[in-house]
Structure 1
């Protein structure tokens, strides 16, 4: 890609040292209850500190000229400031999902299907106060269908909500894991052309269909899906 495309940019994120100062000690004490974890998430109290830039790429969702970045266990606010400086042509937004006791990666929580439509994990809804930018630009956020399975497959440490970890090919076509019958049905009702692909046995290697792909080449131009910025947007970094 670098040789064939004169506009191709090759960059690298800062490498964190991952020292003791990068984490809060005893954050994962076994005595801490689920209720306490949910309270921490709601208060944006995560295991990572602001000692250095830390993020996982899977916490970043790009929608045209806007980057929505999940603040959670694997991405801190300093990383969002890095994105803001590194990519001045993009608008940076910080979002979080209080219903998730282990907020790691955004693509099994908040998934765009086409311009104006997002499915949201019903157990981890985007807070109302963070929805203004979406509402002002006529985006609909609907609850994702329930997973077809009650437990993840053997050796998989992700949640059953990999059901919504789909791969969108274009504004009309989406690939969904073949056994996720409820998600397949919902996609069809939402007007998407659905391609079922058996992928559940690969979950143990780190995730679902979206986790396992990277779209480095795209057709079309970079569009602005949030042109109306005349709104009080508390997510803006």
Structure 2
């Protein structure tokens, strides 16, 4: 058991696949609304979702239940993903399952219902032989990496480094609201701003927050999406921690948070990109690479949800969130036929896997997995 992962495309040997067990609902509070602001307001009717201001005035949060059928079908699909990877010869590790009666978690001045460790790419960054737990931006996910602790400990005992970035306090005043307030940045046009952060005796000012899924790993080069001050502080810490071992490149507001439904590297010199304009947003040194742009998503390939009951958390582009097994083989949602045909035309081998409710649970195959061992080394793909 060896931690060794420098990229997202060389041959995959070991991976953590998340768990969807007992994913019962979402705690909608300021942290949740801010993180999902672009999707909640940009891709659906503004009247469809009551905003946080209309939630409980005392707690300033609302628990949004997920229909049992959707939760069960998600669990089926995630377990099938794990079985598919194991069947392809990849060693699969799993987090602890969140119990159905999990107690609420609490910080200084807030509490939230915990979520299972499903999108394991988000709160951890693997760089070579080091595990870096990243500072979460959603309160309900504050302790999520504790469900991964047994796997991390096993890698640590086998020689891996294990680091945790400074944990934010996550009071209302910890968050930079500029992205949500700058309506020009949102894909859906003018949106309702998130207002009313409340002062707390625990305030320390804006804090670092950075998800692993904001980082595109390309050997010695790391491309990091930065949309506001919380991210910038996280990248600054990362640069100081890594020293001259890596080159860190910032991209400005390619997305609100995660980069892996905007652009992913399929092999050296080749990106999968949401649209042609991605090239111009990338660091100049990567603009000469080939950018594969699939057809626009077919909305008919997604389940139809109830505007008043089902909280959609991702854009229709979520199926670009693919997982590469090697430089020629890619796991793709079986329902995304346009992307499958595009990749096959580019001479990739596609492994179709079912994932029905990707828009309800905020992730695709890249989000659901954390590759811990790939054959590639700390290569300089720009030399």
> Shorter-normalised TM-score: what interval?
0.7 to 0.9
CA gap 1:151/1:95 in 2 versus in 1, 3 angstroms: farther
CA contact (8 A) 2:321 2:365 kept: yes
Task: Deviation per CA, 1:196-227: give whole Å up to 9, x if none.
Answer: 00112354233111111110122242211122
Asked if residue 72 in structure 1 is aligned to residue 248 in structure 2, the reply is: no
Equivalent position to 2:261, from 91, 99, 108:
108
Paired residue for 1:204? Answer: 360
CA gap 1:37/1:77 in 2 versus in 1, 3 angstroms: same
What is the distance in 2 between the residues matched to 1:207 and 1:74?
Answer: 24
Paired residue for 1:146? Answer: 296
CA contact (8 A) 2:334 2:352 kept: yes
Task: Deviation per CA, 1:58-80: give whole Å up to 9, x if none.
Answer: 11111111111111269521111
Paired residue for 2:342? Answer: 186
Paired residue for 2:319? Answer: 163
Asked if residue 19 in structure 1 is aligned to residue 175 in structure 2, the reply is: no
What is the distance in 1 between the residues matched to 2:275 and 2:234?
Answer: 27
What is the SS of the residue equivalent to 1:83? helix
What is the distance in 1 between the residues matched to 2:210 and 2:171?
Answer: 15
Aligned-CA RMSD value? 3.1
- Name the count of aligned residue pairs: 209
Task: Deviation per CA, 1:85-125: give whole Å up to 9, x if none.
Answer: 11121110111355x5xx221111011111100021118x3
Structure having greater relative contact order (Cα 8 Å, sep ≥ 6)? 2
Structure 2: 5+ residue stretches without partners: 1-153, 190-194, 196-204
What is the distance in 1 between the residues matched to 2:340 and 2:333?
Answer: 8
Equivalent position to 2:328, from 141, 159, 172:
172
Deviation at 1:5, TM superposition (A): 2.7
Structure whose residues are more often strand by fraction: 2
CA gap 1:54/1:152 in 2 versus in 1, 3 angstroms: farther
CA gap 1:25/1:65 in 2 versus in 1, 3 angstroms: closer
CA contact (8 A) 1:97 1:127 kept: no
What is the distance in 1 between the residues matched to 2:379 and 2:275?
Answer: 28
Q: Please identify the structure whose Cα radius of gyration is greater.
A: 2
CA gap 1:26/1:167 in 2 versus in 1, 3 angstroms: closer
What is the SS of the residue equivalent to 1:214? strand
